[in-house]
Structure 1
Amino acid sequence: MKRIFPYLALCTWITAHAAPQMPAERLDTLAADPYWIALGHWETGKLGGWRSYVDDEDFFLAKEGPGNPGAELRATLEALYQPASLGDQHPQCTYPARTRWLREQLQLTDLPQPPCSEYRAWYADINPHSTVLVFPAAYLNSPSSMFGHTLLRIDQPDIHENNTAMLSYALNFGAFIEGSDNSILYAWKGLMGGYPGLFALVPYRDKLKEYSRLENRDLWEYRLNLSPEETGRMVEHVWELKQIRFDYYFFDENCSYRLLELLEIARPGIELTEQFPITAIPTDTVRAVKDAGLVESIDYRASREKELLARAEPLDSAEQQWVLRLAEDDRLLDAPEFLALPAPRRALIQDAAFRLLRYRSVGEERTAASAGRSYRLLQSINRNPPPTLQLDRPDLPEEGHESRTWQLGAGTREDRAYAEYGLRMAYHDLNDNLSGFPLGAQIEILQLKLRQYEDNHWQLQRLDLATIRSLTPRGDLLKPWSWQVAGGLERVLGEDGDERLVSHLNGGVGGAWQLGGDALGFALATARIEHNEDFAPFVATAAGFNTGLLWHNPVGTLSLEAAGDYFHNGEVRRRLSLNQQWEISRNLGLRLTAQREFSQLAAPVNEVMLELKWYHY
């Protein structure tokens, strides 16, 4: 429905209530007020003036409203004096946040009184009292959740007394996707603003069900110190944004950025969005909210996966096989060989089997068979309860290193010395400072490295568009695949012994295994597509491998890797590498890199570099 009323101007002089004549200076001052700017989601344009993030003309009352806060304020003031007979279509009912603010600023005591029954019933049902910022941890196997996600939970007044969090409402901003785009198209359209973004305020339990993977991801809940009035102020603005479209971009105008705008409306005067002129990564926005003094307390809820693995950790291999068997056939609870086990061990096995069933059920329709197995296991657990599961809270995600990285290195390649300068936009690799990140996870977006040799020869060393690696250990109970994908420009050995800048796309899949508490071993089969001037075909393909060891040690993280590519044209390229990072501070690291490259086209080449990494948003 268009929110522009064709008879708006006419009503200013024929209705019983006409908009008061306000001094132009007063209206100009209000139009420049930060709160009015926040209500219209305006920002200063690149070439001056204003532009609104809202990409939907239905949001504005003035034709020039998207680029003129003053015109929109005047149009709103006139619209508020429309006849009350308009009912729920009255601008006061459509724009409750604007109405409240203008009434307070201009002492508008003679406004018409439309019933706004639809809005009032909606607001009463939500009954906003307090706000919780919810951060589900990063999930590499989902393109939209690789960096984590943020949403707001709106709680009622009795949340603590009655433990009714599941009856709360979730306030979420996300891409609206029609149809079923594949992961590649999804990523491309998300990067280029190909999806509209919409706000939604839905029951929290429904949001958890919609994001079924949330149950298998660590969940952090940051209770904010917003007052009931501030929470209500935010919710009334959400009504104004109902079905209003924004352009959605993964890296800046995303879920986290839009929620920061709402918090600025809840508490006028705080400045959150201006900290993110280029990218808005969820962990960075959580850190900004915390630094602004908005966080009152923090709660942690471990994922089902983490709880399952913690319960199974004290079980030996034979006992974990019992877990698998019981999860498939609850009749084995009465098997003599199972009953022969000591009662404390049976208690652990039964509980782990029940948790495995719950883990497998996420995202699947509940069946009578699975429900029956769960019930039988619960009965057995009640007869022989295990000890309470104790889980240590991991490092807070916002206390990890910041997302953008500046890099300065010095090294030698055979007998040539060089300096290397780099910038990575986001946000973590396998060797980076580990606190707040899982071991074996890597997401790098837009990394540039320039090299300056001692004869003042400069060259582009690499330009990585994206490098993603997920090394998740396999075990007796869970057997996830590990995988990697990367694309961009990089230097490789050439025919004349020099380096060639080639474009490439490569990926791999395989497995990773836990080697003690702080080490992973991994092995992946890989495939590569490359454009190389030394090769006759425009595009060359290769099959290969990537294997290695990752160890988080007392000073940092060490990786040892061996990789090879076997091209269809006969070229064979292999690489051995060692990386050790010393974690100097949260946002400072020192890394030693040593590698030896082999190629059919040239003699082996050795390279050593010492690199300083400064993590700075």
Structure 2
Amino acid sequence: MKPLFYFISVFLFTSFSSSATQSISVLAKHPIWLKLGHYKNQPTTISYITNASFFIADNGRNDPVAELKATIHAFNNQPLTQCRYPARYQWLKEQGLTFSMPAAECPKLQQWREQQAIHSVSLVFASGYMSNPASLYGHLLLKLNRSTESKNKLLDYSINYGAHVPDNENGLVYILKGLFGGYKAGFSDQLFYRHQHNYGEIELRDLWEYTLNLNERDVAFIANHLWEILGTEFDYYFADENCAFHLAQIIELVIGDQLTSESSPWVIPATIFSRLNSATYQEQSAVKKVTFTPSRDTVFSKYVQSLSEKELSFAKQIFAESAVLKSKSFLALPVQSQKAIIGALFELVQVKQIQKQTPVKISELKNALIQARLKLPMGENKVKFQFTQQPPHKGQKPSNSSISAMHTAEQTQYTMGFRLSYFDTLASDIARIPFSNLEMLDTELMFTNGETYINKIHLLDLESFNPNQLSWANESKWSWKINVGFDRQPALCRTCKRSFVMGGAGQAWQFSNNTLAYSLINGYLGDLAKNSHFYDSSVEVGIITGTDSGIKLRASYEKSFLNAKNPAQTKLELAVPINQDIDIRLAVTHANSAMWQLKLNYYWQ
């Protein structure tokens, strides 16, 4: 009898152990468990998180099975582990696991999560910022919404992902380390108003908030996981392992793999929002609503546009001489006109203070405006504007494939092109910096007479025209451009080509929402076409204009200083959008001869 009892006991124990081991093995391969550990997909399962202190198992960074076993053991023997890993604890309980230790008291977690209850989650897009290489493509934040009717939304928490960059880091080092690795990065939490102030008030960037359509369980699950990863470290790569990638992966905990792809060599914030708008959650749209928050500069532009010609004339006079506020002509205006003028000038003062322009004059003007406003009747003088800015998911997709036909007096050529990212001056301005160019890895192959050539490789092509919109407000903004690469110049001669680095600086003037003129001084270094030197300089003038329907035109004239024998180059380019993903370009370039080009662009992500 005893041998039979022993045999049955061993059989049951072995079966149970085998079943438990199999269950753990299955759980360790579950997509949610892998996301909780930020493990990469095959061929490797190493975690994106680099600091060993995040993992319970010694080899937990490389082994999700070992990390799961160590987590279960800790939950059974060390109840405070629940406070460090609340999302793991929540998910494992939901999978049917039970633990020998009761639920732990976690006062710090409770205070962070429940002092003001988190009722929803948002992703926030901040438009691009040309003064910071890391923000050229825009930025993505995660927002934990705590606000109620009595609690302001600026008290919401925001979760940021960014590189840990030393103060006063050299710009070239910053770019190289950002592209090729060298910085650690991580998640941090702050009250949202700090980010809104920095982006909207200082850097003058518009914000779009996508509130997600998540249930209470999933909101709590995301909050629990954010608690787990605050303070962890990652390797930072500007092109792919950036804010857009890692914050999108947090949202994928509850909506699945609809936002990111580890096989893609680049991740751009606008792409995440385009995919988010198409994503589903429990058979509904993952996005509940989209809210626009204008920057201080956008608000000021609206104020100026709302003024009548007479009111704008007074605003110009008052900015030049604040004593006009006490003049009979100003005081004779209707009260609402006086309020509108003073309101617009207050917004201008705010912008000038941010830009630190003529601080003494601006301080005197601000005091004069306050005194003038106090003399007017009480009442609401803040104008409510309707903003028409479109959200990022409606913009052109960042990558580009193209085909074109080029014709000169000597031959007809055909090209196929690929551009990694992002937009040029003739692209849609939706959620992008108007009158700017941000292109990386723009390449073309040329086919002619049965032969194939490289027609263009532009590694980096940046233009920021940063126009002076209000000459009367003493605006003096710099325009600039940078281009690095190789291209052929068939309008100069049949075999002309150049490998170059160029930079330019100057000024631009905006005449309407759609029209800008510019003037630049450019410098070139490299193997230049029809040039006996390795350097050259030129003057360039141009105009960019467009219609509300999206048709755009750019005309430019460039003449060399140092190589006077070379003719000036004149270029005219027209862009006609067909839909969000396709446009047609017609370009005419003239130097020694004329070159015509008809191009079809397809935009994708």
* Fold match (TM-score > 0.5): yes
Match of 1:481 among 475, 478, 482: 478
Which amino acid is the alignment partner of residue 239 of structure 1?
W
Match of 2:542 among 541, 548, 566: 548
CA spacing shift, 1:357–1:515, aligned 2, 3 Å: closer
Shift of 1:130: 0.8
> 2:179 maps to which residue?
191
Query: 2-side partners of 1:392 and 1:118: how far apart?
Result: 41
Shift of 1:574: 3.1
**RMSD across aligned C-alpha pairs, in angstroms?**
3.0
Match of 1:202 among 190, 203, 212: 190
Which amino acid is the alignment partner of residue 419 of structure 1?
Y
- More deviation, 300-309/204-213: 204-213
CA spacing shift, 1:468–1:155, aligned 2, 3 Å: same
Match of 2:275 among 238, 263, 288: 288
**2:63 is the counterpart of 1:68:** yes
Shift of 1:298: 1.4
CA spacing shift, 1:126–1:246, aligned 2, 3 Å: farther
CA contact (8 A) 1:590 1:610 kept: yes
CA spacing shift, 1:557–1:494, aligned 2, 3 Å: closer
- More deviation, 362-371/165-174: 362-371
> 2:265 maps to which residue?
278
> 1:92 maps to which residue?
82
CA contact (8 A) 2:202 2:354 kept: no
Query: 1-side partners of 2:324 and 2:529: how far apart?
Result: 63
Shift of 1:490: 2.0
2:129 partner SS:
coil
**2:97 is the counterpart of 1:107:** yes
The one-character-per-residue Cα deviations of 1:59-98 (angstroms, maximum 9, x if unpaired) are: 22223322221121112222223344xxxxx432221111
Match of 2:134 among 144, 154, 174: 144
- More deviation, 545-554/323-332: 323-332
Query: 2-side partners of 1:483 and 1:381: how far apart?
Result: 44
Which amino acid is the alignment partner of residue 399 of structure 1?
K
- More deviation, 335-344/118-127: 335-344
Which amino acid is the alignment partner of residue 528 of structure 1?
Y
- Normalised to the residue count of structure 1, the TM-score between the two structures is 0.85
Which amino acid is the alignment partner of residue 126 of structure 2?
P
Match of 2:26 among 20, 26, 29: 29
**2:220 is the counterpart of 1:232:** yes
CA spacing shift, 1:102–1:289, aligned 2, 3 Å: same
Query: 1-side partners of 2:398 and 2:494: how far apart?
Result: 34
Query: 2-side partners of 1:343 and 1:502: how far apart?
Result: 63
CA spacing shift, 1:180–1:234, aligned 2, 3 Å: same
The one-character-per-residue Cα deviations of 1:554-603 (angstroms, maximum 9, x if unpaired) are: 57211111123334x76646311111112111101111111012xxxxxx
**2:581 is the counterpart of 1:581:** no
- For 1:154-553, what aligned pairs fall within 5 Å after superposition? 154-156=144-146, 159-211=147-199, 213=201, 216-265=204-253, 267=254, 269-274=256-261, 277-292=264-279, 293-313=285-305, 315=307, 320=312, 322-323=314-315, 326=318, 332-341=324-333, 343-362=335-354, 372=367, 375-376=370-371, 378-380=373-375, 383=378, 388-453=383-448, 455-474=449-468, 475=470, 476-477=472-473, 478-492=475-489, 497-532=493-528, 540-553=534-547
CA contact (8 A) 2:428 2:550 kept: no
CA spacing shift, 1:212–1:194, aligned 2, 3 Å: farther
Which amino acid is the alignment partner of residue 58 of structure 1?
S
> 1:40 maps to which residue?
37
> 1:121 maps to which residue?
111
CA contact (8 A) 2:346 2:366 kept: no
Query: 2-side partners of 1:221 and 1:155: how far apart?
Result: 11
- More deviation, 395-404/132-141: 132-141
1:180 partner SS:
coil
CA contact (8 A) 2:200 2:295 kept: no
2:34 partner SS:
helix
Shift of 1:35: 0.3
Query: 1-side partners of 2:168 and 2:377: how far apart?
Result: 44
Shift of 1:614: 0.4
The one-character-per-residue Cα deviations of 1:190-221 (angstroms, maximum 9, x if unpaired) are: 21222211101111122334446567222212
> 2:120 maps to which residue?
130
Percent identity between the two aligned chains: 25
- For 1:7-22, what aligned pairs fall within 5 Å after superposition? none
CA contact (8 A) 1:350 1:381 kept: no
What stretches of structure 2 of length at least 5 have no aligned partner? 1-16, 280-284
- More deviation, 216-225/57-66: 57-66
Shift of 1:452: 0.9
Query: 2-side partners of 1:501 and 1:194: how far apart?
Result: 36
CA contact (8 A) 1:327 1:356 kept: no
CA contact (8 A) 2:57 2:67 kept: yes
Shift of 1:463: 0.8
- Normalised to the residue count of structure 2, the TM-score between the two structures is 0.87
The one-character-per-residue Cα deviations of 1:419-468 (angstroms, maximum 9, x if unpaired) are: 10110010111122455545412111111111111x22221111111111
CA spacing shift, 1:303–1:338, aligned 2, 3 Å: same
Shift of 1:327: 5.7
Query: 2-side partners of 1:534 and 1:564: how far apart?
Result: 14
Query: 1-side partners of 2:138 and 2:374: how far apart?
Result: 37
CA spacing shift, 1:573–1:383, aligned 2, 3 Å: farther
1:274 partner SS:
coil
Query: 2-side partners of 1:245 and 1:517: how far apart?
Result: 43
Shift of 1:373: 5.2
CA spacing shift, 1:393–1:171, aligned 2, 3 Å: same
The one-character-per-residue Cα deviations of 1:130-161 (angstroms, maximum 9, x if unpaired) are: 112221222223322221111122112xx242
Which amino acid is the alignment partner of residue 243 of structure 2?
C
- More deviation, 186-195/255-264: 186-195
Which amino acid is the alignment partner of residue 388 of structure 2?
R
Query: 2-side partners of 1:44 and 1:132: how far apart?
Result: 26
CA spacing shift, 1:319–1:499, aligned 2, 3 Å: farther
1:162 partner SS:
coil
CA contact (8 A) 2:447 2:453 kept: yes
Query: 2-side partners of 1:322 and 1:183: how far apart?
Result: 43
CA contact (8 A) 1:135 1:148 kept: yes
2:568 partner SS:
strand
- More deviation, 542-551/385-394: 385-394
CA spacing shift, 1:514–1:210, aligned 2, 3 Å: closer
> 1:600 maps to which residue?
none
Query: 2-side partners of 1:324 and 1:37: how far apart?
Result: 61
CA spacing shift, 1:613–1:112, aligned 2, 3 Å: same
- More deviation, 26-35/390-399: 390-399
CA spacing shift, 1:335–1:142, aligned 2, 3 Å: farther
Which amino acid is the alignment partner of residue 49 of structure 2?
V
Query: 1-side partners of 2:157 and 2:485: how far apart?
Result: 42
CA contact (8 A) 2:466 2:508 kept: yes
> 1:80 maps to which residue?
75
What stretches of structure 1 of length at least 5 have no aligned partner? 1-19, 85-89, 598-603
Query: 1-side partners of 2:316 and 2:171: how far apart?
Result: 32
* Corresponding pairs, count: 577
CA contact (8 A) 1:327 1:373 kept: no
